[in-house]
Amino acid sequence: MELKALEKETIINTYNRQPETTLLLERGAGVYVWDDAGKRYLDFVSGLAVNNLGHCHPQIVEAICRQARQLMHTSNLYYTEPQIRLAEQLVRHSCAEKVFFCNSGAEANEAAIKLARKYGKVKKGQAAFEIVTAKRSFHGRTLAAVTATGQTKYHQGFEPMVAGFRYAEFNNLQSFKDAVTEQTCAILVEPVQGEGGVYPATPEFLQGLRQLCDEEQLLLIFDEVQCGMGRTGKLFAYQHYNVEPDIFTLAKALGGGLPIGVMAAKGEAAVILQPGEHASTFGGNPVVCAAANTAVSILADADFLKQAAELGAYFQQKLRAINNPNIVEVRGLGLMVGMEIKGDAARAVPLCQDKGLLVNCIGGKTLRFLPPLIVTKADIDTAVSILEEVLSAIA
């Protein structure tokens, strides 16, 4: 049976793939992927911010192969060196004091939610279990994480949602202050909203949340699943804001292409969970941690981050220079960029694909660009040229 037909017969339809337009990708290298017909594409999706170092980075491939030959998995009942080395790297490069390993961003956010509830009960009493999150946010697909997500379209069909979440306006400090009650234990936000349309937080907003949490004895949690690991031009997005969270979560790019999630914490938040209160069978897997150790060592390099920041500024400048009346706004931070256009932005996706450029549409009106951080100015120029043609064609 032809592969796309076999997919339809055997995989639950949660991705709305269309056989006539959805690519069957066979290989990737650097900023490019190739389909089953051998056509090459410039990948400005990057596995949705996973492939920050491009496809099949040779150092990461070597780390995976080396570790896979030595030890592929063991229970977290035992120590493994790759896991400990990765924890040390993350603590050394961040404000965190301790970390918890899992397998995805949703799992990392679930761990943060559980920790926050435990903290609330210990610090403020049994009734302190609510978490305030932002409208237009996205925190994952598990039941608690999707409840934390401030977009009702993701809730439909899965009611009743998990109790204990309140929603406030992103970048509106007063809205968050109004949402805090005696039952609140934490505030959870993305420093840059990703799925919601690529909206960076303002410094005043995040600094105000830090002060609010300090005053009300709340944990401040940053979801850096998409915006972390160099995506914004700094290793962690919070580093742009002169604000340190009590907890932050990572996933996506951390594993260099393999699945991993991390909840990182400091202060009281780092010691609140006790043995038996949370766990993950595959969390901190030796092979994935070996890949992540290599990824972090590359991504944390100051010169690499400086280049990513400069390329992000160059890309946004080139996008803003496109003369097209359908462009509403270009926004972003580093190489996490969104372009809002009038009408149905999704029309541009297959047209870009036909011309050899992979892009993503979110919310029906925003084109999201997440190129690998190893992208060059020449790659950006090519992408912008294609985009300019496509936007003119759909005007």
Judged by DSSP in three states, 185 sits in strand
Q: Hey, which residues does 223 pair with through a beta bridge?
A: 249
- The helix (H) or strand (E) run that includes residue 236 is none
Query: In angstroms, rounded to a whole number, what is the distance separating the alpha carbons of residues 156 and 56?
Result: 37
Separation CA 237–CA 228 (nearest Å): 6
3-state helix/strand/coil string of 33-82: EEECCCCEEEECCHHHHCCCCCECCHHHHHHHHHHHHHCCCCCCCCCCHH
Query: Residue 131 region, left (φ>0) first, then alpha (ψ -120 to 50), else beta?
Result: beta
223 is catalytic: yes
Residue environment code for 12-42, b if the CB has 16+ CB neighbours within 10 A, otherwise e: eeeeeeeeeeeeeeeebebbbbbeeeeeebb
Cβ-proximal residues to 126 (8 Å cutoff; 6+ apart), any chain: none
Q: Which of these is catalytic: 100, 129, 223, 248?
A: 223
Q: What is the DSSP letter of 183?
A: T
| Distance between CA atoms of residues 102 and 112, nearest Å | 11
- Active-site hit among 44, 222, 246, 252: 252
Give dist(CA 338, CA 354) in Å, integer: 21
Token couple for 24 = 């069957």
Residue among 44, 101, 138, 176 flagged as catalytic: 138
Told to judge if 252 belongs to the known catalytic residues of this protein, a careful annotator would answer yes
Rg (CA), the chain: 21
Active-site residues: which are they? Answer: 138, 223, 252
